[in-house]
Amino acid sequence: MNEYRVAVVGATGAVGTRMIQMLEQSSLPIASVKFLASKRSAGKVLSFKDQDVVVEELVPESFTDIDLALFSAGGGISKKFAPEAIKRGAVVVDNTSAFRMDKDVPLVVPEVNEHDLYKHQGLIANPNCSTIQMMVALEPLRKVYGLKKIVVTTLQAVSGAGNRAIEELMTQTKDVLDKKSCKAEVLPVASDQKHYQIAFNPLPQIDVFEDDGYTHEEWKMINETKKIMGDQSLQVTATCIRVPVAIGHSESVWFELEKPGANVAKIKGILAKAPGVVLQDDPANQVYPQPIMAAGKKETFVGRIRCDQEQENAFHLYCVADNLLKGAAWNSVQIAERLHALDLLAVPKN
């Protein structure tokens, strides 16, 4: 059996550290690991299965003798270094938005469109965190009833924006409680012109604005959903909100099914058996998904399933998942596990 030499790019980050944990727990046969980051973190010691691993500075030659490279160091880094990795024979699973909408790049949530892995040419894209958990919750229903329209509002944790954003929420929260003034430097978007307090103050901006008034995050959810579900006629619209939560994105999802015949009991029955889903829906006992319960877990938690009171075939659900695990690190390692299982963990030769 093959054993893989694995590189993690962005190994010191919020996602990268979880990638390391997911690799430690994975059934993937691993011969060696290499942890890559910027010059700032080179020399730092991380651990893998109780062994010390020294972080190295990312350079093109980092990918010599690497079979699998997991990228999570920002889109610019992926654009520059993913081709270097592929050129040297590594299969890349990329967590950034750099290649997600490229025609030849599979965009994969294993529970939904594993079959797209067969088309890969050396690079597979990991979807946006908010898109992934919504796909896990809706695909089982789409399979049975078809999907016509989705209207989603997200409540996204600060960890989606990296380690500095988590730090900012903690520091600001403490400052507010201590009745001190607080500094905002990272959220909503580190590179944007203005920064606002996130402690005790949800912000309706994730990623930068487009000219149409939607944010880039909202467009990612719209476009990626159509690509993953393989249906360009699916109607999708999104509003993305950053909330003062460290880990765990929550989503209020309204959806209209294509075929008649669904009801709440049938939907619950389907989701109770769906891969990657944990049904938490018992209003009489106040059971519903919450970020503090989803943090650290690989599944997507679904509850609050109700019918729209006015419109036929339309329903609501609420889903919560760990954005750093199912939304990023776990989905990437799961893709690698599926590539291995399907004997696809090699760059195809043309």
Catalytic positions are: 129, 249
| Nearest in space to 330 (alpha carbons), one of 70, 4, 61 | 70
The reply to whether 128 sits near ligand 12T by the rule CB under 6 A is yes
For the chain, the farthest-separated pair of C-alpha atoms sits apart, in whole angstroms, at: 63
Distance CA 7, CA 228 (A): 26
Cβ proximity to ligand 12T, 191 vs 309, nearer residue: 191
Residue 67 in the binding site for ligand 12T (CB under 6 A): no
> CB of 265: closest distance to ligand NAP in angstroms?
33
| 58 token code pair | 């990312």
Say which DSSP state 144 is in: H
Task: Kindly state whether residue 72 participates in binding ligand 12T, applying the rule CB under 6 A.
Answer: no
The answer to the question of residue 18 lying near ligand 12T (CB under 6 A) is no
For ligand 12T, the closer CB: 150 or 271:
150
Instruction: Look at the block and give the residue holding tokens 């999907």.
Output: 147
Q: Choose among ligand NAP, ligand 12T, none what residue 106 binds, the Cβ cut-off being 5 to 8 Å by kind.
A: none
> Judged by CB under 6 A, does residue 142 bind ligand 12T?
no
CB of 284 to ligand NAP, least distance (A): 35
Residues 6+ apart with CB under 8 A from 159: 14, 165, 166, 246, 247, 323, 324
- Which residues of this protein are in contact with ligand NAP, per CB under 6 A? 10-16, 37-38, 40-41, 58, 72-75, 77, 95-96, 126, 128-129, 160, 162-164, 327-328
Q: By Cβ distance, which residue is nearest to ligand NAP?
A: 13
Number of residues that bind ligand 12T (CB under 6 A): 10
Per CB under 6 A, does 186 bind ligand 12T? no
> Which among 156-164, 175-183, 289-297, 299-307 is the span making contact with ligand 12T, rule CB under 6 A?
156-164
CB of 49 to ligand 12T, least distance (A): 28
Strand partners, 154: 240, 251
How is 81-94 classified by DSSP, letter by letter?
A: HHHHHHHTT-EEEE
Residue 10 interacts with, from ligand 12T, ligand NAP, none (CB under 5-8 Å by kind): ligand NAP
Report helix, strand and coil shares of the chain as percent, to nearest 5. 35, 25, 40
Rounded-to-integer distance, Cα 280 and Cα 271, Å: 10
In whole angstroms, the minimum distance from the beta carbon of 159 to ligand 12T comes to 8
Residues 190-249 that bind ligand 12T (CB under 6 A): 206, 217, 220
Give the span between the Cα atoms of 111 and 276, in whole angstroms.
7
| Cis peptide upstream of residue 60 (ω within 30 degrees of 0) | no
Query: Rounded to the nearest whole angstrom, what is the least distance from the CB of residue 71 to ligand NAP in the complex?
Result: 8
Q: What is the 3-state secondary structure (H, E, C) of 280-345?
A: CCEHHHCECCCHHHHCCCCCEEEEEEEECCCCCCEEEEEEEECCCHHHHHHHHHHHHHHHHHCCCC
Smallest separation, CB 126 to ligand 12T (Å):
8
Residue 123 binds which of ligand 12T, ligand NAP, none (CB < 5-8 A, kind-dependent): none
Residue 18 site contact among ligand 12T, ligand NAP, none (CB < 5 to 8 Å, cut-off depends on kind): none
Shortest Cβ 330–ligand 12T spacing (Å): 15
Query: Applying CB under 6 A, does 154 fall inside the site for ligand 12T?
Result: no
∠ Cα 96 99 101 (to 5°): 115
If the CB atoms of residues 161 and 345 are measured against ligand 12T, the closer one turns out to be: 161
CB of 308 within 8 A of CB of 296?
Answer: no
Kind plus residue range of the DSSP H or E element containing 22 = helix 14-25
Which residues in this chain contact ligand 12T in the complex, by CB under 6 A? 96-97, 128-129, 156, 160-161, 206, 217, 220
